Structure 1
Amino acid sequence: MVDTCSLIQVPSQGRKFTWTNNRRRGHVSAVLNRSFCNEAWISYFQECHQFVLQRVASDHAPILVVSEGSERPKNCPFRFQRFWTDHEDYLNAVQSSWENDIPGSPMMVMAQKLKRLKVFLRSWAKENFSNFNLEMMEAKKCMEEIQTVIDRDGISDSIYAKEADAKTKYLKALQNYEKLWAEKSRSRWRDQGDRCSKFFHILVKIRRMKNSIKSLRTVDGTLISEYVAGYYEHFHKEWDRGRLDGIPSDSEIKSAVWDLDPDSAPGPDGFPRAFYKSCWDIISSDVCKAIRWFSRTGYMPYGINNNFLILVSARISVLLNGGPVGYFGVEKGLRQGDPISPMLFIIAEEVLCRGLSELLAKNSIKALSGPRGAIIPTHILFADYVFIFSNASIRLGVSALLGKPLSILEVFWCRPDFSWIKLNVDGCSLGNPGNSGAGGVFRNHRGLVVGSFKKFLGVHTNYYTEFTALMEGILKAKELQVDALWIEMDSVAMVVALQSKSIPWFVLQDWLSVKDYLNSINWKITHCFREANCIADFLAKAVAKSRNSDVNISFPPHIRSEIAHDAESRPRFRFI
Structure 2
Amino acid sequence: MVNKYKVDMVAISEPMVNKNKVEGYKRYLGFNQCLVNSNGQIWCFWRNNCTVDNIQIHDQLVTFKFQQNGSNHDYYVTIVYAKCTAAKRMDLWHNLEDLDNSITSPWLGSDHRPMLLKCFNDNSVGIKYFKFLDFWIDQDDFKTLVAKEWQVEVDGNPMWRLQQKLKNLGRRLSKWSIEEIGDVNENADEWEAKMEFLEEMDLIDNSKTSREELNKGHAEYVYWLNKQESILKQKSHIRWFEEGERNTKYFHAVIIERRRKLEISRIMNNKGNWISGEDKIANKPVRYFEKLFNLRESNVDPQILDCIPECITDDNNNYMMSCSEEEEIKDVVFNMSTDSAAGPDRYSRIFYYCCWDIITREVVEFVQFFFIKGKLTKFFSTLFWFLSLK
Give the TM bin, normalised by the shorter chain.
0.5 to 0.7
CA displacement at 1:106 relative to structure 2: 0.9
Alpha-carbon distance change, 100 to 140 in structure 1, aligned in 2, over 3 angstroms: same
For the pair 1:295 / 2:353, whether they are aligned, the reply is no
Gaps in structure 1 of 5+ consecutive residues: 1-73, 236-241, 312-338, 345-576
Superposed CA RMSD: 3.5
CA displacement at 1:112 relative to structure 2: 1.2
Rounded to whole Å, the distance in 1 between the matches of 2:286 and 2:229 is 34
2:239/2:340 contact within 8 Å kept? no
Alpha-carbon distance change, 230 to 129 in structure 1, aligned in 2, over 3 angstroms: farther
Alpha-carbon distance change, 192 to 113 in structure 1, aligned in 2, over 3 angstroms: closer
For the pair 1:261 / 2:337, whether they are aligned, the reply is yes
Counterpart for residue 223 of structure 2:
172
| Identity among equivalent pairs (%) | 27
Counterpart mapping for 1:205-354 below 5 A: 205-215=256-266, 224=282, 227=285, 244-300=320-376, 302-306=377-381, 309-311=384-386, 339-340=387-388
Rounded to whole Å, the distance in 1 between the matches of 2:173 and 2:183 is 16
1:98/1:282 contact within 8 Å kept? yes
Alpha-carbon distance change, 205 to 229 in structure 1, aligned in 2, over 3 angstroms: farther
Counterpart for residue 154 of structure 1:
206
Tell me the secondary structure at the aligned position of residue 323 of structure 2. Answer: coil
1:257/1:308 contact within 8 Å kept? no
Matched AA of 2:139: H
Rounded to whole Å, the distance in 1 between the matches of 2:184 and 2:359 is 29
1:139/1:169 contact within 8 Å kept? yes
CA displacement at 1:251 relative to structure 2: 1.1
Tell me the secondary structure at the aligned position of residue 309 of structure 1. Answer: helix
2:232/2:248 contact within 8 Å kept? yes
Alpha-carbon distance change, 125 to 259 in structure 1, aligned in 2, over 3 angstroms: same
The structure whose residues are more often strand, as a share, is 1
Alpha-carbon distance change, 86 to 169 in structure 1, aligned in 2, over 3 angstroms: same
CA displacement at 1:118 relative to structure 2: 1.7
Rounded to whole Å, the distance in 2 between the matches of 1:145 and 1:195 is 23
1:111/1:304 contact within 8 Å kept? yes
Alpha-carbon distance change, 307 to 223 in structure 1, aligned in 2, over 3 angstroms: same
Counterpart for residue 145 of structure 1:
197
Rounded to whole Å, the distance in 1 between the matches of 2:214 and 2:185 is 21
Alpha-carbon distance change, 100 to 306 in structure 1, aligned in 2, over 3 angstroms: farther
- Of residues 143, 152, 155 in structure 2, which corresponds to 1:100? 152
CA displacement at 1:110 relative to structure 2: 0.8
Rounded to whole Å, the distance in 1 between the matches of 2:283 and 2:349 is 28
Higher relative contact order by CA 8 Å / sep ≥ 6: 1 or 2? 2
Matched AA of 1:140: E
| Residues 222-231 or 181-190, more deviating | 222-231
Tell me the secondary structure at the aligned position of residue 304 of structure 1. Answer: coil
For the pair 1:199 / 2:250, whether they are aligned, the reply is yes
Cα-to-partner distance string for 1:25-66 (whole Å, 9 max, x where unaligned): xxxxxxxxxxxxxxxxxxxxxxxxxxxxxxxxxxxxxxxxxx
Rounded to whole Å, the distance in 2 between the matches of 1:229 and 1:123 is 42
Cα-to-partner distance string for 1:199-225 (whole Å, 9 max, x where unaligned): 111111111122212345978987628
Counterpart for residue 187 of structure 1:
238
Rounded to whole Å, the distance in 2 between the matches of 1:79 and 1:177 is 15
Alpha-carbon distance change, 293 to 190 in structure 1, aligned in 2, over 3 angstroms: closer
Cα-to-partner distance string for 1:281-321 (whole Å, 9 max, x where unaligned): 11111111111122223233x3231588343xxxxxxxxxx
Matched AA of 1:284: T
Rounded to whole Å, the distance in 1 between the matches of 2:221 and 2:382 is 35
Counterpart mapping for 1:396-411 below 5 A: none
Rounded to whole Å, the distance in 2 between the matches of 1:251 and 1:75 is 38
2:236/2:255 contact within 8 Å kept? yes
2:159/2:369 contact within 8 Å kept? yes
Counterpart for residue 90 of structure 1:
142
CA displacement at 1:182 relative to structure 2: 1.3
CA displacement at 1:91 relative to structure 2: 1.0
Rounded to whole Å, the distance in 2 between the matches of 1:297 and 1:266 is 25
2:191/2:221 contact within 8 Å kept? yes
CA displacement at 1:75 relative to structure 2: 5.0
What is the TM-score of this pair, normalised by structure 1?
0.37
2:341/2:348 contact within 8 Å kept? yes
Counterpart mapping for 1:383-402 below 5 A: none
1:247/1:296 contact within 8 Å kept? yes
1:192/1:199 contact within 8 Å kept? no
Rounded to whole Å, the distance in 2 between the matches of 1:104 and 1:229 is 39
Gaps in structure 2 of 5+ consecutive residues: 1-125, 294-316
CA displacement at 1:131 relative to structure 2: 2.3
1:217/1:227 contact within 8 Å kept? no
Rounded to whole Å, the distance in 1 between the matches of 2:358 and 2:288 is 38
Alpha-carbon distance change, 290 to 189 in structure 1, aligned in 2, over 3 angstroms: closer
Rounded to whole Å, the distance in 1 between the matches of 2:284 and 2:356 is 37
Cα-to-partner distance string for 1:142-173 (whole Å, 9 max, x where unaligned): 222222122112212x2232112101001111
The structure whose residues are more often helix, as a share, is 2
